[in-house]
Each structure stands twice: as C-alpha cells, then as structure tokens.
Structure 1
Amino acid sequence: MSDKKPLSPSERILATRRKFLTTAGLAAPAVLAAPAIVRAQAPIRWRLQTYAGPSLGEHVIKRQVDAFNAAANGEMEIELYYADQLVPTSELFRALQNGTLDAIQSDEATMAAPVDISVFGGYFPFATRFSPDVGSLFTYYGLDEIWKEAYSEVDNVTYLSTGAWDPLHVFTVDKPVRSLEDLKGLRVFGVPTAGRFLSRYGLIPVTVPWDDVEVALRTGDLDGVLWSGFTEMYEMGWADICKYALSNSITGAWFGSYYVNTPSWEKVPPHLQQLYRSTIDQSHYYRMIWYWGGEAKLRVEGEKMELTSISPEEWNQVTKDAESFWDEVAGESPRAARVVEILKKYSSDMEKAGYPYR
C-alpha cells in the first residue's frame, strides 16, 4: 500500500496546469533552437524585469524568455528579473527610459507610466468580461493604435503588445464581504485604478512591495488583496491565508503589456525583433488558457477559500456607478475620452451580439 498523501483538489488542479507547461508552445524552448553555429561577436544581452514575483513569473514571462533565449541561438540572451529585484516596481518605467532595463512587462497603472492612458492599464472597472475581450479591443477596436500613439510621445520607450491576464476579485483574510457595507474600512493591497474606483465604497487601497504582501496579510496590516483572480491566489500561496473570496468580478481580465527601451530595441536585428514579438504572442496564448481554464476549476473545485457574493441588486448599483467613473476618466484628456468611447462601443456590440459574447 502506498503511503503517499492524496492530493487535495487544488493541488490536483495546479499539478494538471503545470503539466500544461510540457505541452504548450512555451514549455520546451529547446525544440525551437536552431542548429548551433560559431559566432564571432558577443551576443546582445538584455535585462528584463517583470511586475510579477517568481512563482507567478514562471507562467506570465519566464516561459517566453526561455523560448526566446533558446531560439536566438546564441545571438542574444535575456536576463529575467522578478518584481523589485533590480528596481522597485513603481520605478520600472523610469528604469526602462534611462536604459537600466532593456525591457519590462507590466501595466501602465502599476508602474505609473507618464502617459494619459495609464489609468486603463491593469484593471479598468468593467472594461472586460472575458479574456478574449482584451485582444479584440486591441486588434479590432483600435486600442493598439492609441497605445502606440501615446508611447510615441515618450522618449526612449517603445510599446510592443498587450495581452489578457486574470479577472479581478476581492479576497479577504477574515472579514467576509457580502454587501457593499462590508467593503468599508478594508485595507487591501491592489491595483491602482480598481482601488480608486472601489474606494467610493469605503475600501482603502494600500501599496506595499510585492514580497511584503504575505507578511502583511498574516500580521493584519492588510485585510485582503484586490490584485488578481483565483489562479494567482492559489499559485502565490495567498489562498492559504485568505479565508474568503468575493465571487463578484470587478473586471474580467487585466491589461498587461510589453515595452522595450528604444535604443536597445534599435540595436536588435530584424529577425530577432520578430522572434521577440512571436514569443510574446505565444505567451499571450499560453497565459490566456492557463488563466481561463484554471480559474474556473479553482472556483469550482478549490477548497481553500469560501465564496461569498454581493446581491445582484447591490451589484447592479456598482456597475451603474462604473458608468460615471468612465465619464470621469474620459474628462481627463482627449485621448482618454477616445478610449472610453471605444470601451462603450465594444460593450454595446458585445451585448448586441448576444450569447456567447454576453
């Protein structure tokens, strides 16, 4: 008889999802590698830092970097750094501009990018329902052009691409949220724009270094997090601390983007630029499936957090309040107004399209 301890439901789910790494395109970079040849010149070396810590970074960026390094065949090598390892996350953009970093992965709001669309990066309340919404907004509705336009006005930074991450929920250590009243006074670590929106209901956004979140949750300095969906809660171990998960989603998917230092990018030959863009696209594909499928299974089968909900009547008020929040943001700049108009148009189109779009 085997004395091996049976896996819990969430452990089985996470194990299955990690197995996905062996079948997804980004799992085996050696397959992509070209035959080895001798090169006279030293390889191009880049430093890339992500917003994510090591456990999350394994899925949102490391596979892409590994695949690129293997396929670059010695012509170029990217060194990957996780959250706050070289510079604080809040200084990512500045470090990219001055060449301390050659590339970054983040959202505008988290790193306070000096562009008038930064409020839309990360989680913009109720901008998306599903992860495919992100790619559709950027590909078919013009957000990609607006992002490129905004960053063309910033020295030394080139915007490359945006993809979808997980949805956004409120998770709490020992204070369940079952009404808007329960949000009052909650100190949560989270993304700036969603925190700004929910602060109208009394929630208190708190900023701490990513590595300090777990300790702050355990000591009571934080009551919870407003930073992710169920996937990341389990992957990062925060589900071991938080007892409650609010099932009402503030946004269906995070806007996460890739940027490069312009002088560094211009030194990269075209075939390696294309390789970098291609591995970004592979990463978008892998990540969307990893989040989408795993998110659902962990909500249904995960055993670590009790699901709570705010009634449809109260939540309808929240979605109604988001409309005035959108209009408030639209008043911040003409370009922000253009983004809001696109979001409104997209939302209307999805409602008209009906099932399965809405």
Structure 2
Amino acid sequence: MTTTRRKFLATGALGAAAAGLAAPARAQETIKWRMQTYAGPALAEHVVKPAIDAFNTIANGQMEIELFYADQLVPTSELFRAMQNGTIDAVQSDDDSMASPTEVTVFGGYFPLGLRYSLDVPALFNEWGLNEIWGEEYAKVGVKHISAGSWDPCHFAMKEPVNSLADLQGKRVFTFPTAGRFLAQFGVVPVTVPWEDVEVAMQTGELDGIAWSGITEDYTVGWSKVAPYFLTNNISGAWIGHFFANMERWDAVPPHLQELLKVCFEQSHYYRQHWYWAGEAKLRVEGTDMQLTTIPDAEWAQVEAAAATFWDEIAAESETKAKVVEIIKKYNDTMTKAGRPYRYG
C-alpha cells in the first residue's frame, strides 16, 4: 500500500493529537523558598519586601519566595546555621549579627570607621575585589554569597544627650557584635536583645541607647520616640549587608531564575542607597522627635585613632582578614588622595 502525503499528514496530525491527549505534559512545580531578614516588619517594607514582591511577580509561578521578618522563624543569631542546614533557604543579613563562621564575619555590619559613604560598599565589593573573597569564604561552608549592598550609617540614639566620650561611660547599648567589641574601650556596655524588644528595653531601662542604625531607621521603626538624642558622630558611614542562600538550594534553581534573583536583589541595594541617603539628611533637618548632639572633632579623633589600631588587631588574626583590611586601607587612602567629592578633610 502506498501512503499518500495527504493521508500521512492527516493520520500523523491525529496521531500526535491523540498522543498528546493520552499523555498530557506535566506542569512544572513551583520552586518555593523561605527567606528570613534581619529586619522587623516596618523596616522590611523598605529594605527587602519590594524586591521579594517584584521577584515573585516576574517569576510568574515558576518560583516563589516567602518572606519572614526578624526572629520570626529563628533568632537572628541562628540565621546562618538555619540556612546552612536548609531550615531556611535564603537570608538577608550582615555577617556579624547572624554569627557566620567565616574569616570575613567581623567586617559585616559596621566595621569601625571603615566606610564613610554608602557608595563605598558597592565600590569595594564590585571594583576592589571583596565579592570574590566573600564568595570563596561562604562556598567553604556551603552557602552562596549572592551580593552585598550598603545600608545606613551607624549612630548612637540615646535616652540622654552625649556631648563627650565621657558621656558614653557605663551606657548599655544595643549594637552589633564587632561594633560592641570596639566601643567597649570607651566604656560602652554592649547588650543583646531581640530586635523587636529594643523599644520596650529602652522604656524599661534595660537599655540606655542604640547603636544600630542611622536616623532614617530610628524614625521608621519607632526608636525616635524612646531615644530623643541623636549623636551626629558615626561609628561607620554605612552598614554592609548581604543576600545569601543555601548552596544546594541555589544550585537547584534554573540559571534564568538565578539571574532574576540577582537583578531583584541589586535593585533592592539601589533602593536603599537613595532611601537612606535622602532620609539621613531630611530627618536631621526636619525631624521633630530627636535632638542632635555632637562630640567635638578633636575629641572624636581618639575614636578614629582607636579604629586604626583595631583594624591592625583584626588583620593580625588571619591571612584573609589581613587581605580585607589591606584593601580597606588602600581604598580609603585612594579616596583621600582623590579629594572632593570622594573625601572631605
């Protein structure tokens, strides 16, 4: 028998259609992640939620991230371990407060006087080699370092005015581990409480102050109501924070969704750049909750000198730490030599 072209097309099409009806294609299951941020709900509305909402929308059912806030699933200090063992798929935090067991942990959050402006963070990571160092260090412990970005500067928000270093003596302050280690030499008593308990701790007298953020965050989360004095001298010009993921979960995500994650997180970093930058100036000038105080430059120079000594102490702890400190030193030296607008004075 001879099969005509017309008959072949007809039976072939019907056969293919029948086969399709008999064995429908299986829909791809949605990849679901759980991410916890260091931030409470009010702050997360700015520092992470828009990025997660955008990702979930663009991913169009292929992947979905469920966002959890500070201490909601696990305490912030246990975020790293929870991510490493897969209890949480991804984390937004600094290295320091989530207690990651790496050689670069001490530089996360606020490394004392290491940065002056928020743009210093992406410059150091993207142009001066810190991305590669962080990537290598976290890969050793089964975690993907996705990207780094800057947040606000670190200032004291206090119940009582601070006009000299002597005013810090004995003050119980909520702050980051490394910042607390540095500030202890000036009589500050570092205190750790859950993030959502800070306001109450200020009201009950458990805390005398907060060295966790700039003025934008103080107003956003309500701390300006319990800490009426804002010290304009800062411990650092910007916070270093990151997005991380469990390495196995990251590797299981298709390349196009990995790229989408990176893009959305970069947009999140950019949003914080202008949100904090604008807020720090506007609220100092127009805010009504907090009164500004300042330690004179000549006296604050003691803190700056102590920071240089602290950097050398950190550098002596390991080869990797020494490498990061050297990059930070060279970067700051370059900025100073470049002059305005990179550095003033």
Q: TM-score, normalised by structure 1?
A: 0.88
Show the counterpart of 1:274: 259
User: Aligned partners of 1:267, 1:327: CA distance in 2, in Å?
Assistant: 41
User: Aligned partners of 1:78, 1:39: CA distance in 2, in Å?
Assistant: 22
1:153 CA drift (Å): 1.2
Show the counterpart of 1:322: 307
1:320 CA drift (Å): 0.9
Q: 1:257 aligns with which of 237, 242, 252?
A: 242
1:192 CA drift (Å): 1.2
User: Aligned partners of 1:341, 1:42: CA distance in 2, in Å?
Assistant: 47
Identity, in percent, stands at 60
Secondary structure of 1:108's aligned partner: coil
Show the counterpart of 1:349: 334
User: Aligned partners of 1:316, 1:41: CA distance in 2, in Å?
Assistant: 60
Show the counterpart of 2:37: 50
Task: Describe how 1:173-184 pairs up with structure 2 within 5 A.
Answer: 173=159, 175-184=160-169
Show the counterpart of 1:121: 108
Show the counterpart of 2:92: 105
Show the counterpart of 2:139: 152
Show the counterpart of 1:35: none
Q: 1:209 aligns with which of 189, 194, 197?
A: 194
Secondary structure of 1:227's aligned partner: strand
Paired residues of 2:83 and 2:91 also in contact (CA < 8 A): yes
User: Aligned partners of 2:112, 2:239: CA distance in 1, in Å?
Assistant: 10
Query: In the alignment, residue 286 of structure 2 is paired with which amino acid?
Result: E
Q: Which runs of 5+ in 2 are unaligned?
A: 1-24
User: Aligned partners of 2:181, 2:157: CA distance in 1, in Å?
Assistant: 17
Show the counterpart of 2:184: 199
Query: In the alignment, residue 271 of structure 1 is paired with which amino acid?
Result: H
Q: Which runs of 5+ in 1 are unaligned?
A: 1-37
User: Aligned partners of 1:143, 1:224: CA distance in 2, in Å?
Assistant: 32
Query: Between Structure 1 and Structure 2, how many residues are aligned?
Result: 319
Show the counterpart of 2:158: 172
1:186 CA drift (Å): 0.4
1:324 CA drift (Å): 0.4
Query: In the alignment, residue 53 of structure 1 is paired with which amino acid?
Result: G
User: Aligned partners of 2:27, 2:128: CA distance in 1, in Å?
Assistant: 46
Q: Which has the larger radius of gyration?
A: 2
Show the counterpart of 1:301: 286
Paired residues of 2:143 and 2:245 also in contact (CA < 8 A): yes
Query: In the alignment, residue 296 of structure 1 is paired with which amino acid?
Result: A
Show the counterpart of 1:25: none
CA shift digits 1:224-276 (9 cap, x unpaired): 10100000000000001111010101100000001001111111111100000
1:41 CA drift (Å): 2.4
Show the counterpart of 2:81: 94
User: Aligned partners of 1:145, 1:262: CA distance in 2, in Å?
Assistant: 16
Paired residues of 2:113 and 2:235 also in contact (CA < 8 A): yes
CA shift digits 1:67-103 (9 cap, x unpaired): 0000000101100000010111110000001111010
Show the counterpart of 1:218: 203
Secondary structure of 2:241's aligned partner: strand
RMSD across aligned C-alpha pairs, in angstroms? 1.0
1:39 CA drift (Å): 7.7
Show the counterpart of 2:318: 333
User: Aligned partners of 1:209, 1:71: CA distance in 2, in Å?
Assistant: 34
Query: In the alignment, residue 261 of structure 2 is paired with which amino acid?
Result: Y
Q: 2:174 aligns with which of 189, 192, 195?
A: 189
Secondary structure of 1:178's aligned partner: coil
Show the counterpart of 1:163: 149
Secondary structure of 2:146's aligned partner: strand
User: Aligned partners of 1:242, 1:324: CA distance in 2, in Å?
Assistant: 31
